[in-house]
Amino acid sequence: MDEIFPIAGLVPLAEEKATGMNEQEFRSLYDATARPIRAYLQGVTGRRDVADDLLQEMYCRFLVRQPPSMNVDETRRYLFRIATNLLRDRWRRGDDEGWQEIPEYGFSVDMDAQIDVRAALSALKPRERELLWLAYVEGMGHAEIAAATGLRAISVRMLLFRARRRAAGLLLAKRETV
Amino acid sequence: MTRVNLANRRWCEREADVVRSLRAGSLPVELREHVLSCVVCAEARSAAEVMLQTASLLQVEDGVPAASLVWSRAQVRKREMDLKRATRPLIVMRVLSVVYVVLCAGWAVHSFWRPVAMELASGLNGWLNAFRSGTVGLGAAIALLAIAIGAWYLLYDGRRSDTGIRST
């Protein structure tokens, strides 16, 4: 956790200094963070093409903004924050209203469980999917979620409680109808 | 604790343990028993399972876009922003020069209109006399000429910079 990505660079001279990070450093950051953030973006939007676009846009913004030096955890939270802001921009524009289908993956996955998951995710609001993903897939605490979403920790607690209750209720209702 | 109180609970100190175990892939017997008796943890378990199943479905997919592609895009974007930032003072100067020219023109019209109108009655010679009468008129003429040359240079340079940005 002590690894520092040298992002700062007040007077850029060469191209590598212009972004505060050279290509090699960027590659190691990308390898460490791209997959979970792409999964987050796809999990929340339900669309792979959108997730790929937003992922690229997120790293572009990160490199262009030149944030100060951060450790790995801070950088990860900062990237999730940019990703969340990009998702919100799309929702404000009305680009992503509903959750799209996850493609099927043959016989390796329990189909009943898959149907339950799809139904529950489709019924959840984007912000609920966002909070549940960060809490349960990324394992973030309330303070970390607050940092990654721009919400206050107290609001995160309340919103997460509602989202959790709603998701559980949707799953229960789905299983009772089957 | 009554049944109503249990249903209204919003948090449980063991919720984090339950989520951690689910993320690790197995729920110990002790926590499993706790989940059966705790509404909060039961809800957390259901919600976490939905999200973790989705995450496991997404893991089956292909890899992320190449890092080199993202890096190149960011470099192009950075260069565009640097160019825009560099030309921003020129845009400000261009606007200021236009404002200055308009103000000078207004001042010139206001200062010379009355004498000129009066002298025009006595012919063109009178108008020239009115313009020559003070050093102010000469100063204003030189200032206007300098501004016009400066504005032309800024416009020319600005157009060249815009072309540079588009071709990057």
Residue B66 lies in a domain: no
- Is B72 inside a domain boundary? no
Helix (H, G, I), strand (E, B) or coil at A139: coil
Residues B52-69 have a mean pLDDT of 80
Residues of B in contact with A108 (CB under 8 A): 60
B145 and B107 housed in the same domain: yes
- Tell me whether residue A42 is in a domain: yes
Is pLDDT at A1 greater than 60 in this prediction? no
Looking at the domain assignment, is residue A103 inside a domain?
no
B46 and B86 both lie in a single domain:
no
Residues A7 and A88 in one domain: yes
Does residue A163 fall inside a structural domain? yes
- Which among B20, B47, B58 is the nearest to A168, CB-wise? B47
DSSP lists the bridge partners of residue A5 as: A70
Could you tell me if A10 and A67 lie in one domain?
yes
Q: Any idea what DSSP says for residue A174?
A: H
For residues A90 and A8, state if they share a domain: yes
Q: Do A114 and B53 touch (CB under 8 A)?
A: yes
Q: Is A38 on the interface with B (CB under 8 A)?
A: yes
The candidate with the shortest Cα–Cα distance to A167, out of A134, A124, A133, A138, is A124
Q: Does A19 touch chain B (CB under 8 A)?
A: yes
Is residue B56 packed enough to be buried (19+ CB in 10 Å), middle (13-18) or exposed (0-12)? middle
Which pTM does this prediction carry? 0.68
Which residue out of B51, B59, B71, B168 would a mutagenesis test of the A interface target, given it has the greatest number of A Cβ atoms within 10 Å? B51
| Contact call for residues A164 and B43 (beta carbons, < 8 A) | yes
* pLDDT value of residue A137: 92
Same domain, B110 and B46: no
Q: Are residues B52 and B112 in the same domain?
A: no
Give the residue from B40, B46, B60, B68 with the most A CB atoms within 10 Å of its CB, the best one to mutate: B46
CA A125 – CA A17 distance, rounded (Å)? 41
Residues on chain A touching B69 (C-beta within 8 angstroms): 56
Residues B84 and B7 in one domain: no
Same domain, A12 and A50: yes
A109 has a pLDDT exceeding 90: no
Q: Which of A98, A124, A141 is the last residue of a domain?
A: A98
Residue B135 lies in a domain: yes
Asked if A94 and A7 sit in the same domain, the reply is: yes
Total domains in chain A come to: 2
**pLDDT of residue B133 exceeding 80:** no
Residues A77 and A163 in one domain: no
Q: What is the pLDDT of residues A123-168, one digit of tens each?
A: 888 899 999 999 999 999 999 999 989 899 899 999 999 999 998 8
One domain for residues A12 and A88: yes
Q: A71 and A11, same structural domain?
A: yes
pLDDT-derived band at B167 (thresholds 50, 70, 90) equals: very low
Dihedral angle at the C-alpha atoms of B31, B17, A176, B4, nearest 10 degrees?
80
**Residue of chain B whose Cα is closest to the Cα of A101:** B54
pLDDT confidence of residue A156: 93
Q: Would the CA dihedral through A108, A113, A117, A119 be positive or negative?
A: positive
Q: Do A161 and B10 touch (CB under 8 A)?
A: yes
Residue A96's pLDDT band, with cuts at 50, 70 and 90, is: low
CB contact under 8 Å between A136 and B52, yes or no, is: yes
With bands split at pLDDT 50, 70 and 90, how would you rate the model's confidence at B163? Answer: low
How many other C-beta atoms can be found within 10 angstroms of the C-beta atom of residue A57?
18
* B33 within some domain: yes
Q: Which helix (H) or strand (E) holds A102?
A: none
CA distance A171 to B78: 46
Question: Can you give the residue range of the structural domain that contains B98?
Answer: 77-167
By CB atoms closer than 10 A (0-12, 13-18, 19+), residue A112 is: exposed
